[in-house]
Structure 1
Amino acid sequence: MPAPHRPRESGGGPGKRRDPFFDNAKYLAIVLVAIGHSWATIANGNRELSAAYDVVYVFHMPAFIIISGFFSRDVDARPDRLKRLITQVAVPYVIFETAYSLFRIHVGHSGDHAISLLTPWYLTWFLCALFVWRLTAPLWRLVRHPLPVALGLAALASLTPGMGAVLELQRVLQFLPCFVLGMCLRPEHFRLVRRRSVRIAAAPVFAAALALAWWSEPRVTSAWVYRNCAAQDLGAPWWAGPVMVLVMFAGAVVLTACFFAWVPGRRTWFTALGTGTLCGYLLHGFLIKAALYAGWLDAAWLHGTPGALLVTGVAAAGMTLLCTGPVRRLFRGVMEPRMEWAFRREAVAPAAGERGRGEGLGNGHGAETGTAAVPVAASVR
């Protein structure tokens, strides 16, 4: 990675300082992603941990997607932006989809030896989704009422069984309203949820969400939180799809607002780590899957409170390490290949003021998940 660039204010023009709030939010959310993945196996049989797992899954990816949408408000079809979309989303998708498939085959000894770019596996679905969202971003700027339209598309997707595996279209469409919502937001909206009154109110809201998740654990399937199935795929009546799309979207918005309320707005020790969340996101899946393949998470004692706390701490520490500068520099060639040789000259040089712009989950100098973007598999579990 190059030397740290001069940060800029999110959504601002050249010369404005970058708001550390967004890097703080990205780091904290990516840690929740790693924790959620580590809980996936040990939560079985633990009702309290399963409830916490469901609550985290309601909002951790929507938080990333909303930020990515926020930084996509001015996206257009300019050559340098399309070039970044290819090098920082499409090419990493091909690389990591292939790498994860080979890892599954040779380390996980999977009987399925297929490597298909049309069926994202594990973490790579988000790169596929981001590519579609960013590519269609200029269209959402033309629509008079973009959020209701996006919700309508998500509801229709929830009525279409069997489409989820191809490019993870169920997730692309069911998470689309979060991206469009981000495009509709302005800086003052983020300042609004960071008020002291909202921070105080966030505590009982999260407590109520945990209580509701605990109550619903034996009554409602947790599969709804993944947004990767139609209602019929889950054995539910057709009308449950649109209803759950609205319920999950409302829950995501409320819990994401509460999460943002607790994110520090000042520079902290982890602010710089927020610029490396793309690296942490794409690499931590290898560690999680390796632990699963090795049976390290099968021990019965890990399903109790002490084991869950240990797994949580290890997951958070591991993700923190993967977001650090040395790791990002090591994998820079595959996370953000330059590939000037593949493009016409006018697509290589970004316009003045575009370099170093922080967006989405990214790496801190323009390869963010908003510009290119990231945060999960045919199942983010």
Structure 2
Amino acid sequence: MSSSLARDQSVSPTVPAAPAPDGAPVGAPTDAAARPAAAAPAPRERDAFFDNAKFVVIVLVVMGHTWEPLRDASHTLKALYLFVYSFHMPVMIVAAGYMAKNFDSQPRRIKKLITGIAVPYVVFETAYTLVINATEGGDHPLSLYDPLWLTWFLLALFIWRLLAPIWRVVRWPLAVAVVISLLSSLTQLPDALELYRTLELLPFFVAGMVLRREHFSWLHRRGVRIAAVAVLAGAAGMAYLAAPYDVMEFFFWRTGRPGFPEMGFAHWAVLRVACLGCAAVATAAVLALVPERRTWYTRLGEGTMYTYLLHGFLVKLAAYAGLYDMAFVHKPLGIAAVTVVAAGVAVALTTVPVRKCFRWVMEPRLEWAFR
């Protein structure tokens, strides 16, 4: 999702330097080093498939946040909201996990982790705290260990990336991640660092790390894609049937069983397994329908973190301006208009001019801060 994270996707693997001939000083030019630059291998291109997937998902994310104040206005909209929330974050997290395959403790990667995730998290957590307090009249304290609204994803991403090297040495990484996810949802965790979301969604990040590119290509077989359409149609139907019931909280992934004391351990465990399974199947179905070739929106998929972090301000300002209080936006035509506007905003915020304007805060260099 993130342009700062996606930078690793486009970096070629480091090629070990050829050893110097006997007797030559370390660092002395060799025949290989003296070859013309044209002989060097070309840098690996970005994978259009993941940029396409990130673009599709970020449009759905913006729509979902825009629908939130209106979701009770229509049974259909509430069902659509539930349907989108059942897979949009898992898809995003699988893509983030795939891009973290090569993450290690090398200084250059740690530097990118700090400048591309940690610094934007501090900046936007501060900004959203100020904006939400001003527009909603709240008194949320500024707390970097208790993220406010959508900034939780940056904090979770920071933690997942730090843990990435562990999953390359564990024998059954995905199985271990699923066990951790289920156990975390059954226990009482501290109300900090968005631990419920971070741990319950961990299997999707690990899945992205362990899956190979050919696995994603397999999803694009004709039979699989036809099945994917049927799966998503069925999921939409189930969301329509479930909309009247209070099931939305389970797909926010932010509350463990202690938050539902009326549910026993066995009942909650079955429910959590079902949620993980549904999200995994829906995620695979969505990825099966995302094109692998370059499209008109492939380039826009490089800037999805900009859209993710910036669109929330527009949603909060729209609510503050009273746009959601208008009777028109609660009617079918108004909901359709809001949806179109949300899609347009999502596209606009991924464009190059916006990224150039906000790169100083989203991808700061901070050379002065590093040795």
TM-score of the aligned structures, taking structure 1 as reference length: 0.84
Q: Deviations over 1:296-344 (max 9, x none)?
A: 1233332332122111110010011111111111111110111111111
What letter corresponds to residue 134 of structure 2 in structure 1?
Answer: H
Out of 190, 208, 222, which is 2:248 matched to?
A: 222
What letter corresponds to residue 234 of structure 2 in structure 1?
Answer: A
- Maintained 8 Å contact 1:8/1:19: no
- Maintained 8 Å contact 1:8/1:18: no
Unpaired runs of 5+ in structure 2? 1-6, 14-41
Deviation, 1:9, is 7.5
Out of 58, 62, 68, which is 1:40 matched to?
A: 68
Distance 2:332 2:220 in 1: 32
Match of 1:313 in 2: 340
- Maintained 8 Å contact 2:48/2:293: yes
Q: Deviations over 1:202-238 (max 9, x none)?
A: 2221111111112222234210000000123134333
Distance 2:361 2:265 in 1: 42
Q: Report the structure number with the largest CA radius of gyration.
A: 2
Distance 1:291 1:238 in 2: 41
Distance of aligned partners of 1:241 and 1:90 in 2 relative to their CA distance in 1, 3 Å threshold: farther
Matches within 5 A, 1:253-292: 253-292=280-319
Deviation, 1:45, is 4.0
| Higher helix proportion | 2
Match of 1:362 in 2: none
Distance 1:49 1:137 in 2: 37
Distance 1:292 1:241 in 2: 35
Match of 1:144 in 2: 171
Match of 2:104 in 1: 76
Match of 2:151 in 1: 124
Q: Tell me whether 1:192 sits opposite 2:218 in the alignment.
A: yes
Match of 1:167 in 2: 193
Distance 1:56 1:113 in 2: 28
Deviation, 1:113, is 4.4
- Maintained 8 Å contact 1:231/1:240: no
Matches within 5 A, 1:1-381: 13=13, 15-110=43-138, 112-161=139-188, 163=190, 165-235=191-261, 236-344=263-371
- Maintained 8 Å contact 1:105/1:113: yes
Distance of aligned partners of 1:330 and 1:10 in 2 relative to their CA distance in 1, 3 Å threshold: closer
Distance of aligned partners of 1:327 and 1:161 in 2 relative to their CA distance in 1, 3 Å threshold: same
Q: Deviations over 1:176-227 (max 9, x none)?
A: 0100111110000110111222222222211111111122222342100000
Give the 3-state SS of the residue equivalent to 1:229 in structure 2. Answer: coil
Match of 2:25 in 1: none
Give the 3-state SS of the residue equivalent to 1:218 in structure 2. Answer: coil
Deviation, 1:63, is 0.6
TM-score of the aligned structures, taking structure 2 as reference length: 0.86
Unpaired runs of 5+ in structure 1? 1-6, 345-381
Distance 2:85 2:296 in 1: 26
What letter corresponds to residue 124 of structure 1 in structure 2?
Answer: T
- Aligned CA-pair RMSD: 1.8
Deviation, 1:264, is 1.8
Distance 2:179 2:149 in 1: 27
Q: Deviations over 1:141-198 (max 9, x none)?
A: 11101111111111111112453x4011110001101001111100001101112222
Match of 1:360 in 2: none
Give the 3-state SS of the residue equivalent to 2:137 in structure 1. Answer: coil
Distance of aligned partners of 1:220 and 1:39 in 2 relative to their CA distance in 1, 3 Å threshold: same
Distance 2:66 2:278 in 1: 23
- Maintained 8 Å contact 1:38/1:288: yes
Deviation, 1:239, is 2.9
Distance of aligned partners of 1:29 and 1:264 in 2 relative to their CA distance in 1, 3 Å threshold: same
Give the 3-state SS of the residue equivalent to 1:167 in structure 2. Answer: coil
Deviation, 1:243, is 2.2
Give the 3-state SS of the residue equivalent to 1:107 in structure 2. Answer: helix
- Maintained 8 Å contact 2:8/2:99: no
Give the 3-state SS of the residue equivalent to 1:105 in structure 2. Answer: helix
